[in-house]
């Protein structure tokens, strides 16, 4: 794991238990981000993305952290092995961070926070879902890095925006107690620049690992679901339905083509003592939406 020394602004690599305490940044990518290869060069300091790195390090140092992690420059994306390891480790890295700074450049100081949060791009991106759920201590900052508040402060508002329940945001309940379909629904209205990332950004949410195969398109989301059912008997993974206005015809498919197909999921907590059939019935009780294709047939074979 590469970390930025907040004093020297140099990159240092650590492994396993030797990794020191660190702060971490969560943000949405923009133009002129600083890459791993560019980091440390003078041209890098002239790019717009450098200011986020510098501000993160300044805040981390003031809060007592000698190291910080920023995804743009702390992953060598030229190495497929390092990229795969990093993406599979991302949830844990955010979970293990001492503090997570969320930078919201589209929230100016003159806009009321409660109103401004729901318009922030950060809540629409796939990668930031795990960055919202995993960290224990999240601190939000606006456009000019002005202080906004913590995840716990805004738990009610964030729950309304994202559909994630308040106990998960306040860390009183683990996201794992919620059914697969419920957790999928948290990503239903999010997007990623690359199709495959809509699957890869959810690995930590479902505690699975798999290789990165950019170029496979929507097959990545199918592979994610295959990995999930290898580890779980929760049949709500089949409780998906065609979203209104969706052009892709998913009839005849076993797995959902994307998280958007879980948008109408009725939230349930996973009850491990119930049968798979009972869990699926429970998750769709009183729902006006039909089960996903093949779900009924699969239940008959259980």
Same domain, 22 and 128: yes
pLDDT value for 157: 96
Picking from 139, 173, 207, the residue at the C-terminal end of a domain is: 173
How is residue 211 written in tokens?
Answer: 């290789």
160 with 104, same domain: the answer is: yes
**Which region among 166-170, 233-237, 249-253 has the lowest average model confidence (pLDDT)?**
249-253
> In this predicted structure, what is the pLDDT of residue 114?
87
Q: What is the mean pLDDT of residues 211-234?
A: 94
Q: Under a CB-based contact definition with an 8 Å cutoff, are residues 224 and 206 in contact?
A: yes
Q: Which of 91, 86, 53, 46 minimizes the C-alpha distance to 69?
A: 53
Task: Name the band, by pLDDT with cuts 50, 70 and 90, for residue 298.
Answer: very low
Residue 242, pLDDT above cutoff 90: no
Residue 252 has pLDDT above 90, yes or no: no
Do 163 and 17 belong together in one domain?
A: yes
At 187-220, the pLDDT tens digits run: 999 999 999 999 999 999 999 999 999 999 999 9
Please determine, for residue 290, whether its predicted confidence score (pLDDT) is greater than 70. Answer: no
pTM for the whole structure: 0.85
For the four alpha carbons of 62, 22, 194 and 191, in that order, the dihedral sign comes to negative
Judgement on whether residues 35 and 45 belong to the same structural domain of the protein: yes
Which of 173, 207, 240 is the endpoint of a domain? Answer: 173
Mean pLDDT of 94-98: 98
pLDDT of 40 reads 85
Spatial separation of the C-alpha atoms in residues 244 and 77, rounded to whole Å = 37
Instruction: Verify that 93 and 204 share a domain, yes or no.
Output: no
Most confidently modeled range among 58-72, 230-244, 248-262, 274-288: 58-72
Q: Which residues of 176-193 are buried (b: 16+ CB within 10 A; e: fewer)?
A: eebbbbbbbbbbbebeee
Average the pLDDT over 144-157 and give the result: 96
pLDDT at 25 over 80: yes
- Average pLDDT taken over every residue of the chain: 88
pLDDT exceeds 50 at position 273: no
Strands annotated E in the chain: 2-5, 11-13, 22-26, 67-69, 99-103, 138-141, 147-150
Q: Tell me the C-alpha distance between 30 and 15, whole Å.
A: 29
Range of the domain at 10: 1-173
* Same domain assignment for residues 33 and 116: yes
Same domain for 242 and 185? yes
Report the pLDDT averaged over residues 87-109.
96
Mean pLDDT (whole number) for 93-114: 95
Per-residue pLDDT band for 246 (boundaries 50, 70, 90) equals: low
| Residue 155 near residue 169 (C-beta atoms within 8 A) | yes
Residues facing residue 101 across a β-bridge: 25, 139
Number of domains into which the chain is organized:
2
Give one DSSP letter per residue of 57-96, joined into a string: HHHHHHTT-SEEE-TTTSS-TT-HHHHHHHHHHHHHHHHH
pLDDT band for 53, please (50, 70, 90 cuts).
very high
Question: Which two structure tokens, joined as six digits, stand for 132?
Answer: 């919202």
Q: Are residues 141 and 82 in the same domain?
A: yes
The Cα–Cα gap between 155 and 143 comes to 21
Amino acid 277: pLDDT: 41
pLDDT value at 268 more than 80? no
**What is the distance between the alpha carbons of residues 60 and 21, in angstroms, rounded to a whole number?**
10
- Residue 194 and residue 281 in one domain: yes
> Of residues 299 and 54, which shows the higher confidence score?
54
Residues 291 and 280 in one domain: yes
Same domain, 24 and 70: yes
* Sign, CA torsion 225/226/229/230: negative
- Does 154 lie in the same domain as 226? no
Please state, in angstroms and rounded to a whole number, the distance separating the CA atoms of residues 214 and 93: 22
pLDDT surpassing 60 at residue 285 = no
Q: What is the pLDDT of residue 264?
A: 83
The answer, yes or no, to whether residue 291 has pLDDT greater than 80, is no
What is the distance between the alpha carbons of residues 92 and 39, in angstroms, rounded to a whole number? 24
Among the candidates 173, 195, 212, a domain finishes at: 173
pLDDT for residue 244 = 74
Q: How far apart are the first and last CA of the chain?
A: 43
What's the CA gap between 267 and 2, in Å, rounded? 38
DSSP state letters, 212-238: --TT-TTHHHHHHHHHHHHH---GGGG
66-70, 118-122, 223-227, 263-267: segment of lowest average pLDDT = 263-267
In this predicted structure, the answer to whether residue 276 has a pLDDT above a threshold of 70 is no
């Amino acid at each position: 794991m590469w970390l930025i020394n907040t004093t020297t602004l140099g990159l240092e690599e650590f492994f396993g238990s030797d990794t020191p305490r660190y702060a971490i940044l969560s943000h949405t990518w923009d133009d002129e981000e600083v890459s791993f290869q560019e980091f440390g060069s003078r041209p890098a300091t002239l790019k717009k993305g450098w200011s986020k790195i510098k501000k993160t390090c300044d805040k981390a140092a003031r809060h007592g952290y000698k190291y910080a992690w920023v995804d743009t420059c702390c992953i060598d994306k030229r190495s497929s092995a390092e990229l795969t390891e990093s993406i599979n480790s991302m949830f844990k890295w955010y979970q293990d961070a001492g503090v997570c700074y969320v930078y919201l450049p589209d929230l100016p100081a003159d806009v009321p926070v409660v109103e401004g949060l729901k318009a922030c791009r950060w809540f629409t991106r796939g990668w930031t879902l795990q960055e919202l759920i995993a960290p224990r201590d999240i601190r939000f900052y606006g456009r000019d890095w002005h202080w906004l508040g913590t995840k716990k402060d805004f738990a009610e508002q964030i729950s309304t925006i994202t559909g994630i329940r308040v106990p998960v945001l306040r860390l009183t309940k683990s996201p794992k107690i919620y059914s697969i379909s419920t957790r999928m629904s948290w990503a239903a209205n999010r997007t990623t620049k690359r199709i495959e990332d809509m699957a890869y950004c959810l690995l930590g949410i479902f505690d699975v690992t798999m290789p990165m195969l950019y170029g496979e398109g929507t097959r990545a989301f199918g592979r994610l679901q295959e990995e999930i059912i290898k580890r779980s008997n929760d049949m709500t993974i089949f409780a998906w339905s065609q979203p209104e206005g969706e052009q892709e015809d998913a009839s005849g498919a076993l797995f959902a083509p994307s998280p958007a197909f879980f948008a109408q999921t009725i939230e349930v907590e996973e009850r491990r003592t119930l049968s798979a059939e009972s869990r699926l019935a429970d998750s769709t009780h009183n729902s006006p939406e039909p089960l996903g294709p093949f779900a009924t047939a699969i239940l008959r074979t259980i």
